Amino acid sequence: MVRIIPVASSIRPSLSTLRFAGASRLGFPFASFTPSRRLACFQLASAVPRSPSFGLKASKLLRGDGKTAGVAAAGNAAQASTTASPENVLEWVKQDKRRMLHVVYRVGDLDRTIKFYTECLGMKLLRKRDIPEERYTNAFLGYGPEDSHFVIELTYNYGVDKYDIGTAFGHFGIAVEDVAKTVELIKAKGGKVTREPGPVKGGKTVIAFIEDPDGYKFELLERGPTPEPLCQVMLRVGDLDRSITFYEKAFGMELLRKRDNPEYKYTIAMMGYGPEDKSAVLELTYNYGVTEYDKGNAYAQIAIGTDDVYKTAEAVKLSGGKITREPGPLPGLNTKITACLDPDGWKSVFVDNVDFLKELDSLSRFLVLILLLLARRRPFQGLAVCGWAYLQGDEYGCVWYGRLLSFLGLGFDEK
């Protein structure tokens, strides 16, 4: 059963707004240190944090313009000596350690969406970051830590309260143990149900469809306990066989199943890196005779982990995909990424696995440093930071603070 965890975003201050007493005496300029800004540079959605018409700095970051192109070119040059033959590259893709990391899309009211996802869908707010200089805010939500679960990244652009979802995007899938109870909860919270619970046409699986406040559709699938409740992203394509071949060769995905429904004139293909009941999958849908769709400007992309962004980009090119950001490190960071389009124009960003984990760990390591400095002299202040860390979903900071107090033999009495 998906747990319902109400979360009030108003009690989650940005780390950039925290001020630590005694920081100047310790010689650390914590008041001006903003790790959220560093994490923002590594925004897997930063290739398109805004709609294409905005074209602000974050979107330039991953397009390969100016200095960024130089960085990417330098990275490519460094990899040139190890470039494998086309056959070896495509064979390597099958062995690469890949995982769907998160899906990115834009919303018109971030707090409203967070409230709906946490109260109605049982998600947890994993982290939230505001980048005022570029006028956008991100929120990551899901059913578990980002290093082991497929999660959602929401993007709110200041002053933009509505987007066009288009006709190409289909829905997200969430596995629950009781669809009927989940639907009743959603109705009680004022959510919109577009298909009442019942067996899928031509099958036995109980499903229902709902819409979030921005109009994104979610399919609720009745299943037993699963390690990956956020289990599907459905996209429509104009040539299913072409798409299957591309995702197998370029992305290293496996065709898990394919089902044709001539009565309703559509065919679906499930693609992924593991079984449907244990991992997130990509559902490709072909509607008979429809070769083009309107993508709108709401849905952005999927981020996928890889051991080598350079070989990944080569495989995409060999498979007929288009590279929109050449492989290489992000400016000011060592995080390596590459971005591409599939034959239908759907965007994906590949991120180096090791770099991704390092970036996720950076906030935890910063908190450990803060807690270490506070534990000796001001345990209550350290406890406050610990509480903030917990509310941000950073359980590591809490664990380390407890260990530090135990190691130093300290209680919680203010000295």
Active site residues: 219
Cα separation, 177 vs 274, whole angstroms: 21
Between CA 152 and CA 160, with CA 154 as vertex, the angle to 5 degrees is 160
Closest CA relative to residue 65, chosen from 286, 252, 287, 326: 326
Q: Do the bridges between strand 217-222 and strand 169-176 make them parallel or antiparallel, or are there none, so unpaired?
A: parallel
Cα–chain-centroid distance for residue 373?
33
Which residue spans within 136-228 are E strands per DSSP? 136-142, 151-157, 169-176, 192-199, 206-211, 217-222
Does 222 show up as a binding residue in the annotation? no
Cα separation, 153 vs 126, whole angstroms: 10
Distances from the Cα of 63 to the Cαs of 78, 306, 330, 344, 349, in angstroms? Answer: 20, 20, 11, 19, 12
SS3 state of residue 119: helix
Please list, in sequence order, all residues whose beta carbon lies within 8 angstroms of the beta carbon of residue 17, skipping any fewer than 6 positions away. Answer: none
Question: Residue 148 CB: number of other CB atoms within 10 A?
Answer: 10
Residue 104 main-chain phi, psi, to 5 deg: -120, 130
Between CA 16 and CA 72, with CA 54 as vertex, the angle to 5 degrees is 75
Question: Residue 212 CB: number of other CB atoms within 10 A?
Answer: 19
Does 171 show up as a binding residue in the annotation? yes
Q: What are the CB-based long-range contacts (under 8 Å, 24+) for 257-263? A: 261/201, 261/202, 263/202
Half-sphere exposure of 187 (CA within 13 A, CB side): 13
Cα separation, 277 vs 223, whole angstroms: 8
Closest CA relative to residue 42, chosen from 163, 140, 110: 140
Cα separation, 375 vs 382, whole angstroms: 6
Which spans in 80-145 are helix H? 86-95, 110-120
Q: Which two tokens stand for residue 252?
A: 């290293």
* Residue numbers belonging to the annotated binding site: 153, 171, 219
* Residue numbers belonging to the annotated binding site for Zn(2+): 153, 171, 219
